[in-house]
Structure formats: C-alpha cells, structure tokens
Structure 1
C-alpha cells in the first residue's frame, strides 16, 4: 500500500476522509491515481481532492457527501450540464438496439450529416473517440498530402498525447529525438515567426487553436496564417477541441470566418460522452478513402469510433444547439461570475493578485503572489478555500446549466476565499493558511514537488 496519510491536515469545514481513502487506493492501482493528468490529485490541494460519485446540472457530489458547484465541467467537455435528459434519452434509445456492429449504421450517416451542417467549411468527417486521435490523423494526412514531414505548432499548451507533440513538452521520456525533430514552434499573433518556420520548405501542416481563453486573434492574423499556408503549400489545421461548441456550434472557424484545410474536434461534441472528429476538405480527406488513385493514408480506423451511444449523444447535442441557445447561457453565467469576483477583488484591494480573465464561456482565474508573479502556492490557497465552501474547479469554465443562483453561491464563496487570500498577500506568504503542499503543473518532468512515497521507495 502507498505510504501516504489518509486524512492529512484537516480542512476547516469539510471532511475528505473517504475521498482520501479512495485516492490512496487509486494510486496503488492506476499510475498517477487518475486517467487524465489534469484530473490528478496533484492538481488540487493536498488531502482535498474529492472523488466524485454523481452529478446533476452543474452540481456534483463526492464520496463524503460534500456538494459542489462545479467549474471546468469535465475538462470543458460538458456544456449542457451533467445528466442532461435529452442526451441521456437519445443514448438510451440508441444502445437498446445495440452498440457496436460489423458494418456501418444509418446513425453514422445521420451524425455525419448533422456535423457537416454545423461546419460548412468541411466536406467530410470521420469520427473517433479521443482528441489526440483526430490531431494525429490530421498530421499524418498532411504529411501524405504534401510529401513533407515537419509540423509547425503554435505556442499553445496542448495538441496531442502522441510523440510528434508530447515530445516537445517536459514529459518527453520514452520519445525518440527523431520524433521531436519533426515539430517546430511559432508564436500566436506573430505572422513573421510563422513565415520564418514555413520558409524552411519542410512544413506539412500548421496546427493551432484559432483562439484561446486568454488570446483572441489580432485583426488579420488568421487570414494571414491562411495566406501563408497557401503560399508555402502547407495545410492549415485548426484544433477546435475547446472552441467547438463553446465559441460556437461551428467552432472558431465559424466565428472568425477563416476556413482551415482540416479541423479537429472533441470534448463538448457529446456533452461528456466520448467522441471526437477529424473534418476537412474533400481533396484531402479522400486520401483516406476508396476514391483516390494515390497511395492511401491510414487515416482513422477505430473499433469504437462509430459506437452508437456517443453518436446518438452527439446528435442530441446538435439538436439542443440548433433549437436552444446554450452558448448564450454559459456566456451569461460567465459574465456574471467574472464581474462578481473581480468586484470582490477590487473591494478588497487585491485586483493585482486575484483576477478572473478570459472569454465568458471559458474563464480562468489568475493567482499572483505579493510580487505580482503567477504563484502555485497562492493558486492552491484559493482552490483550498473554494473547496471548503462548496466550489470545485481548476478554472471558472461554465456550462449552460449554471444558473444565476449557482453563480451567486459561487460569488459568496469567492468573497470568503478572497478575504483569506488578502491575508496571505498582506503577510507575504501562504504560511499558516495553506494545508499541505502546493499544486504542480500537470505536465512536468518529475513527480516532485508532489511525489507520493510508497513502501520500499
């Protein structure tokens, strides 16, 4: 058994005893204690990482019976709320007739038609399960289409778990240097930096998020990227994992009016059900099909890509986006929350240290130390105080299920948390206020500073 405390220093208001017991067992059985690094216990205050048992709307409950208003919503994959009835009913009806078959189903055709109506810049689509499947398929397709091998990626946080990208991060153990050599970086909103990379003549594809929570494209930037790709013969690939169904149902390309050659989708497509997609222009997508005389590309071939439950969930999500207005609701909640928390910080005189920033549907909170530097200890203190008061989230990413009442509860919790935060700023550190070790970046070279000791270590 892992030699880690079960309870640890007690929180002031809530017990995490059962969650800590379950987390200890998870560390024995699952590397890292979670199936996604961003979900790891090291991303939360020590001994205060809830193990969840159910959710409804924007509320979740943990193994100790604690209730929270949740933000982040399944790493941005849930935009309609947990347990959204129309999605669940569509899945129930679909899987009653079977889940996986040896031939395509009519549902695959219907789902493809739905997708291509939302994304008019794409001619064809292929479904999969993980975002990395889609981005790596796009890379492979671009290399085949251009006869080149190098990929230009924007200086944005994450694109794939596969070697071509993850080898460029701190967690590059086990990845051949030759894989890393095939990826080059350029800077967002910096056309000269992209032109310099493209000028090597080796670039098969330019991969970027058209926008992020904190970065909007400057006037002419995306159009300039499109022009440079055309001039140098590289394919333009938009990563729509976050922007899709959060910026608009048609993704960032619909918002900014720039058509990529290929686009990669996932997360909110299924309101939490596992589904991703690669979409693009016919001339490229057909290289993975049967209507080409060129060498065929092994594009996407997944056993579970056409699984009925997730395709039915996707179609139900499309219906909600077509008949309702979930983006307006999540943006309304986000504006209320950002305005409320930033007003609290202003009242307390700590706006330089605690801020809510970003697109209303994709908010983050910035936590800085007394010198104004981004701080993991101060971030952990804020997370700790929010958890104690019934707010769970590494960010303030909302969903359409967040009501004004939920936001009001959150703002109340934030006011109390901000008072503690101000005390830490005034005393110059989190000493005596933070229980346990600070959080650490999810992607880092070593387990330290949140290494967990085990027997025999």
Structure 2
C-alpha cells in the first residue's frame, strides 16, 4: 500500500471494539492507543523480522518490538521450531520437565554471577519475589527504589510510588523510599534517614539513556554491604541487550539478586529470578529459616517459554547478537542525527542513548519537552511506514529497514521543522497529543483540529 493510500480504518474499528471489551483497549498500558496519534494505532496481524503487518494491509518497520522483548526478530525460525517441539510433547505437567533442567543449567552457565535461578512468566512477578526474599532475609520492611528509572513491577510495593496509586493503601505507599541514579549522596541520605530499616535497594544497573558514572555502581554495592541491604538489579532491558550475562557483567558489579525477562524468550513469556544461594534457598527446601512462598504458580515452568529461552541462548552463542544490535543502532543514530541537523531542528528533536536501546526526545518551539510534538513525529513516521515508540533496535533490522527509517525521518523532520517555525502543531497534528502510559487521569488533552 502506498503512502497516499495508507489508512487505519480497520485498525480504528478493531480498537473501538477493544475499548468496549478490554479496560484501556489493550492488555499493557504501553501498548494503548493513547500512546499513538489519534486514529493511527495499528492493530497487528503478524510480524516478519523487523516488520509488522496491520489489519489495513499496512507494513511498518517496527522498533522496540514486544516492549523491547524481541531481539532476534518476529517469527525467528530457530525459536519457533524449538517452541513447537516443546509444545508437541506437552506444555504443562504435574512434575518438573526436562526443559526446566536444561533451562536452569543453561542460564547459570550464561550468568555465572548467579548460584540459583527460578523461572516465571513476567518481570513483575520475579522482581516482587526478589523484594520478598530481601524482606525475609533482613527482617526489614522498607524498599529503596531508584526513582529516576521508570518501572519495576505492577505490584503495590512499586505502583504505590507512581501517579497510578489509586486502590493502594497508604500504609503500603509508606514502605517504599527513593534515591536517584548516578547520585550516591541521595542513597546515603535515604540509608541515613532509615538506619537498619531498608531491606533492598532496587535499580536498573543502566538504562538506554543513562550509563552509570564511574564508581557509582561500585558505591551502591558498598553502601548495600555496609547497611546490610540486599542489592537487586533489574536486568529486564539490559539482560541479553547489554550482554548475554547482563549489565552486571559489563560493569563488573554483582548484585545479590537479579531479575530477567523480555529478550530472554524473544517475545515468548519467560522471566527469571537469579542470585545468591543463601537468599534463593529461602524459597526452597534446604533452609532452617521460615520459608518464603516464592514463585509457585501453574504456568511458571510451562515448556514453551523455557524452550524459547534455550533457542535464544543457542543463537547468542552462535552469533554475536549484542554486537549486531550495537552496530545497527550506531548506523541508525548517525544517519538520523544527520537528517535532523539538515532539517535545522537539532535543538528540538534528538536521538540518544545506547546504540542498542535508542530513544528520541521531542521539544516544542520554546524548547520544552512536548507530547504534542512527539505525537506529530509519530504521526508522520506512521504515514511513511515506521512504527516506533522508541528506536530500540533488534538484530533483525536490515540495512533496508534502516534506509526506510531514515527516509521516514527525513520527511517527518520537514513537517516538524515547519511546525517549529510556526510555533504550534496546529494544522500539522490531526488530533490529541499522546500521553504518558502511567498517569493519574485517563484523558490526554485534546487538540483543536484544523478544518
């Protein structure tokens, strides 16, 4: 379908049905239609490599696939084959399967800083399990969370700290305190304000946009040791993207517990809690302490997720997937920065971050961060065949995919530049602005649409 013919009629119809049946119209906030320009939220039929097809027969080059979970591409044959093999022999049993033995052995080989691992189906569950272990081991209640990082769990201990704390008791909210990334003094202050009370320090070792400053992670490790707190690294994004052994291997700082997901299964549902034996065994049978009810659920060891992980691990062993993503991301970033500079809007539109986890920033004519201009950029990219909430790349992105993206940015930048020059998105953006996925109230501000 050509750009002039591209429309979203069937997607809009399906999205309307979803809103009637599903709260929010999607099963994940970040996938909601409010994250996309009005009337331009594609409903996906299938994917192939780094491209996706929607119900209106529009093909898009897609970034951040599966909320950063797909690093090998959609329909990656070795993963699909291994999953089908597992499924054909049974998906769930009354006893552990051989897939559990194989996956645990492989994970501990891949992440040598961990002594034990337990698998589950999503990141929230394993991160909350890590928090529970920390509280059990320390006898403390408070959790210190890095507030300059966006998300750790759907559970109350974390959501109480966000703008979507409705339904969470005040007493729960008071159990989570905060510190800032790359700011050791903020962590020292929190520990001093709550001496002997903090069970765990929870953080990502890095993000796509912020690397740890020299000595920061080492300082966090030292403060955790001194205070007797459990250090938990959230490796949901970094794991399998910074390295197959996680960001902890890149930076040389070992946490007490770490949590994994996303790229672990190339989009299939599998996550992991890993860490030191003395902590992990509190959820097992080899302990004299009060046992922790740790990740005991029906589908935690469902065979297809574990099979997907094993196929992903094989691929990472055969190919340098991380280097492939870094190289493709670097090529994309250089090209896009050149496009943006040529359009004269470098002060207003930026592409930054680790090459394998790029994001873009949008500012208005006054130089302030802007959701309206973000919506305008997304609108123009969709019109020209690119679907992206970020520019998080995969090893499936080809040179052709990057060329399509660069051309789409070239055209989008021209519109963006005109909007900046006029000082408004009026006449350029057809509808409301996009909105943050985690916010207190539902309706983002609606923009007046030019006739």
TM-score when normalising by structure 2: 0.97
Q: Which of 445, 448, 455 is the equivalent residue of 2:443?
A: 448
Q: Deviations over 1:214-252 (max 9, x none)?
A: 111111100000000000000000000000011111111
Instruction: Between 426-435 and 197-206, report the one with greater CA deviation.
Output: 197-206
Report the counterpart of residue 107 of structure 2 in structure 1.
Answer: 115
> Structure 2 stretches of 5 or more lacking a match?
447-451
The Cα shift of 1:107 comes to 1.1
Report the counterpart of residue 247 of structure 1 in structure 2.
Answer: 242
Alignment partners' CA distance in 1, 2:354 and 2:130? 27
The Cα shift of 1:446 comes to 0.6
Q: Deviations over 1:33-62 (max 9, x none)?
A: 000000000000000000000000001000
Alignment partners' CA distance in 2, 1:358 and 1:53? 30
Q: How does 1:196-235 map to 2 (within 5 A)?
A: 196-199=189-192, 200-201=194-195, 202-235=197-230
Report the counterpart of residue 266 of structure 1 in structure 2.
Answer: 261
> Is 1:403–2:394 an aligned residue pair?
no
> Is 1:292–2:284 an aligned residue pair?
no
Query: Any idea what SS the aligned residue of 1:439 has?
Result: coil
The Cα shift of 1:333 comes to 1.4
Query: Any idea what SS the aligned residue of 1:60 has?
Result: strand
Q: How does 1:234-383 map to 2 (within 5 A)?
A: 234-383=229-378
> Structure 1 stretches of 5 or more lacking a match?
1-10, 452-457
Alignment partners' CA distance in 2, 1:377 and 1:257? 40
Q: How does 1:411-450 map to 2 (within 5 A)?
A: 411-449=406-444
Alignment partners' CA distance in 2, 1:25 and 1:345? 38
Report the counterpart of residue 75 of structure 2 in structure 1.
Answer: 83
> Is 1:162–2:155 an aligned residue pair?
yes
Alignment partners' CA distance in 1, 2:67 and 2:218? 29
* Paired residues of 1:71 and 1:396 also in contact (CA < 8 A): yes
Alignment partners' CA distance in 1, 2:190 and 2:123? 25
Query: Any idea what SS the aligned residue of 2:355 has?
Result: coil
Alignment partners' CA distance in 1, 2:185 and 2:294? 32
Alignment partners' CA distance in 2, 1:367 and 1:124? 43
Q: Which of 98, 101, 104 is the equivalent residue of 1:106?
A: 98
Query: Any idea what SS the aligned residue of 1:361 has?
Result: helix
Report the counterpart of residue 188 of structure 1 in structure 2.
Answer: 181
* Paired residues of 1:167 and 1:175 also in contact (CA < 8 A): yes
Alignment partners' CA distance in 2, 1:105 and 1:71? 35
The Cα shift of 1:274 comes to 0.3
Q: Deviations over 1:355-393 (max 9, x none)?
A: 110000000011111111110000000000000000001
Structure 1 runs of 4+ with >2 Å offset: none
Alignment partners' CA distance in 2, 1:111 and 1:93? 15
Report the counterpart of residue 51 of structure 1 in structure 2.
Answer: 43
Query: Any idea what SS the aligned residue of 2:133 has?
Result: helix
Report the counterpart of residue 449 of structure 2 in structure 1.
Answer: none
Report the counterpart of residue 151 of structure 1 in structure 2.
Answer: 143
Alignment partners' CA distance in 1, 2:134 and 2:234? 14
The Cα shift of 1:329 comes to 1.4
> Is 1:175–2:185 an aligned residue pair?
no
The Cα shift of 1:130 comes to 0.8
Alignment partners' CA distance in 2, 1:139 and 1:310? 24
The Cα shift of 1:307 comes to 0.4
> Is 1:97–2:92 an aligned residue pair?
no
Alignment partners' CA distance in 2, 1:299 and 1:197? 28
Computed over aligned residues only, the root mean square deviation of the Cα atoms, in angstroms, reads 1.0
Q: How many residues align?
A: 441
Q: Which of 24, 28, 39 is the equivalent residue of 1:32?
A: 24
Distance 1:13 1:369, change over 3 A: farther
The Cα shift of 1:397 comes to 0.6
* Paired residues of 1:13 and 1:389 also in contact (CA < 8 A): no
Q: Which of 18, 41, 45 is the equivalent residue of 2:10?
A: 18
Alignment partners' CA distance in 1, 2:388 and 2:398? 16
TM-score when normalising by structure 1: 0.95
Report the counterpart of residue 454 of structure 1 in structure 2.
Answer: none
Q: Deviations over 1:263-283 (max 9, x none)?
A: 000001000000111000001
Report the counterpart of residue 8 of structure 1 in structure 2.
Answer: none
The Cα shift of 1:332 comes to 1.4
The Cα shift of 1:447 comes to 0.6
